[in-house]
Amino acid sequence: MRIEFTKMHGLGNDFVVLDARERPLPPMDAAFAAALAERHTGIGCDQLIVLEPSELADFRMRIFNADGSEVEACGNATRAVGLLHGRPARIETRGGLLRSGPTEAGISVEMGKPRFAWDAIPLAYAMDTHALPVAWEELVNPVAVNVGNPHVIFFVEDPYAIDMARLGPMIETDPLFPERINVNVAAVAGRDSIVLRVWERGAGLTRACGTGACATAIGAMRRGLVDRRVTVALPGGPLQIEWAEDDGIVMTGPATEAFRGSFDPADFGIII
Ligand SMILES: N[C@H](CCC[C@H](N)C(=O)O)C(=O)O
């Protein structure tokens, strides 16, 4: 049996997309996802995305990180599946109901409302999420926000001077974060401009992180550092983030279909 896939990316954050909306796929589990994410297979991805029928929306999007963990949200993939759908879409995710639609500036996604309560991040104990009284070496007093998935944001002089390969996993897996955390280091470059790098929970350093851009923009807005509409410059390129008057977050940016193919699950040691 061969399974068809579409390889896509959002500013270099890449995905293998399996479409099970018309026909069922073998049961998706962490092992399947982690096997497919391996780069040496010639496919490889930061996240595996599975589209399934939904009772609540046009379709359901399941998100598996490269380590196999299934998570609530993925901003760049939401734009990618919006591109694949080819028209405005309501998308059911573990993090809530999202809307995506093509615009002249790329694919726009309504990412829902941010949550700031310590137990909504979640943190292991009560803290002021506006400025956590914690530090990991030179990374101090971050903001924490949940934008469907959990993020911690450190504002620094130069994000590219931070040793993310060492500090990223240390913070991602700290017991303060019972569901682990996505780690963002950002510099404010103007009232409408942020520079950002992200160590992603379950995927490591990626070229771009849509939910990281949303979380960082909201964190900076909460601190009064930027206006309610900003451009976030990630290593793979820019995203536009707006915190709308109704408290919803709107992210706009590109999505790209790279190629289509098929694979035999047995080639990945997946016995069906
Ligand atoms: N690593 C994230 C999921 C993917 C987020 C990122 N790829 C995006 O575009 O938002 C998490 O475990 O919550």
Please check whether residue 269 lies inside any domain of the structure.
no
* Residue 240 and residue 177 share a domain: yes
Tokens of 107: 């694919």
For ligand 1, whether the C-beta of 202 sits within 6 Å is: yes
ipTM for the predicted complex: 0.97
- Tell me how many domains the chain contains: 2
* Residue 218 and residue 190 share a domain: yes
Assessment of whether the complete model's pTM goes beyond 0.90: yes
* Residue 127 and residue 100 share a domain: no
On whether 211 is known to bind a ligand per the annotation, the reply is yes
Rounded Cα gap, residues 90 and 85, in angstroms: 10
**For residue 56, what is the domain's CATH number?**
3.10.310.10
Q: Are 46 and 55 in contact (CB under 8 A)?
A: no
For ligand 1, whether the C-beta of 216 sits within 6 Å is: no
On whether 200 is known to bind a ligand per the annotation, the reply is yes
Rounded Cα gap, residues 214 and 111, in angstroms: 8
Rounded Cα gap, residues 198 and 65, in angstroms: 14
* Residue 233 and residue 125 share a domain: yes
pLDDT beyond 90 at 107: yes
Please check whether residue 241 lies inside any domain of the structure.
yes
Distance 209 CA to ligand 1 centre (A): 6
* Residue 197 and residue 105 share a domain: no
| pLDDT score for 208 | 98
Find tokens 């028209």 and name the residue: 87
| pLDDT score for 28 | 80
* Residue 135 and residue 106 share a domain: no
pLDDT digits (tens, 9 = 90+) for 43-52: 899 999 999 9
Query: What average pLDDT does this structure show over 73-87?
Result: 97
* Residue 202 and residue 129 share a domain: yes
| pLDDT score for 194 | 99
